[in-house]
């Protein structure tokens, strides 16, 4: 992230809500810095957020783009525990790990950590999550703070790191299964035709090579 993008990123509320049209605040900041996005696409930042970005970028301030949503009070996700089935889908959706729970057990929201991003709402299969206004008439940055943004960013970074680690473990497990199949292909296949087995071996070896290249691109280049 270049210097301009870093300054823009630091001025964003870090709710990670994706309403700007980008996967997170960092991606939006980089898009603004690269001239690919306008400065009026962040509903949580509201009018004050647009003014902050205008000062940083030198672009004129404009009204919040309605296609991205509207400025409003801070929302808090609330789980109706009488309807929660413990599916864990909201845990995966929450970008700041503000929901506690496990499979088939009750989930609950860690209130001080919830950014009101709303990403848990559409994934709930039983519609047991609602949003409550917790800042009254205060909206945008008046309903948020630098401390809130710093906490949200820290939790998002931890969440992202953990997700990468989990994906890496899953990928390693898949590779180990593929390697085991290669070591004893006849025992892992219903086919006995040597030509078919050779074809399957080639497919598995190619898949393993692609997986290793993704994991360590430098090692497999040149």
- Identify whether 160 is part of a domain: no
For 47, the domain range is 3-68
Same domain, 12 and 58: yes
Can you give the pLDDT at residue 169?
56
Instruction: Tell me the H-state helices in the chain.
Output: 3-10, 25-33, 46-57, 89-93, 146-183, 194-215
pTM: 0.73
pLDDT tens readout for residues 125-175: 999 999 999 999 999 999 999 999 999 999 999 998 887 775 655 466 556
Alpha carbon separation from 151 to 16, 89, 98, 115, 148 (Å, rounded): 12, 23, 11, 10, 5
- The string of pLDDT tens digits covering residues 175-201 is 666 677 667 766 666 667 777 777 777
**How many structural domains does the chain have?**
3
CATH number, domain containing residue 139? 3.30.70.20
Out of 24, 46, 68, a domain closes at 68
């Amino acid at each position: 992230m270049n210097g301009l993008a870093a300054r823009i990123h630091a001025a964003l509320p870090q709710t990670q809500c994706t309403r700007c049209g980008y996967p997170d605040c960092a991606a939006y900041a980089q898009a603004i810095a690269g001239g690919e996005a306008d400065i009026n696409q962040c509903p949580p930042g509201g009018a004050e957020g647009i003014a902050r970005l205008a000062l940083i970028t030198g672009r004129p301030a404009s009204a919040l783009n309605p296609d991205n949503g509207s400025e409003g009070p801070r929302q808090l996700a609330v789980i109706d525990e009488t309807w929660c089935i413990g599916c864990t889908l909201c845990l995966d959706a929450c970008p700041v790990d503000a929901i506690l729970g496990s499979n088939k057990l009750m989930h609950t929201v860690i209130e001080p950590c919830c950014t009101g991003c709303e990403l848990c709402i559409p994934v709930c299969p039983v519609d047991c999550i609602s949003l409550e206004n917790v800042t009254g008439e205060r909206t945008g940055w008046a309903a948020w703070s630098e401390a809130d943004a710093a906490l949200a960013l820290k939790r998002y970074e931890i969440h992202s790191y953990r997700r990468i680690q989990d994906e890496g473990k899953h990928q390693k497990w898949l590779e180990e299964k593929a390697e085991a199949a290669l070591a004893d292909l006849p025992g892992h296949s219903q086919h006995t035709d040597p030509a078919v087995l050779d074809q399957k071996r080639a497919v598995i070896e190619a898949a393993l090579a692609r997986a290793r290249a993704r994991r360590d691109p430098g090692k497999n280049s040149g």
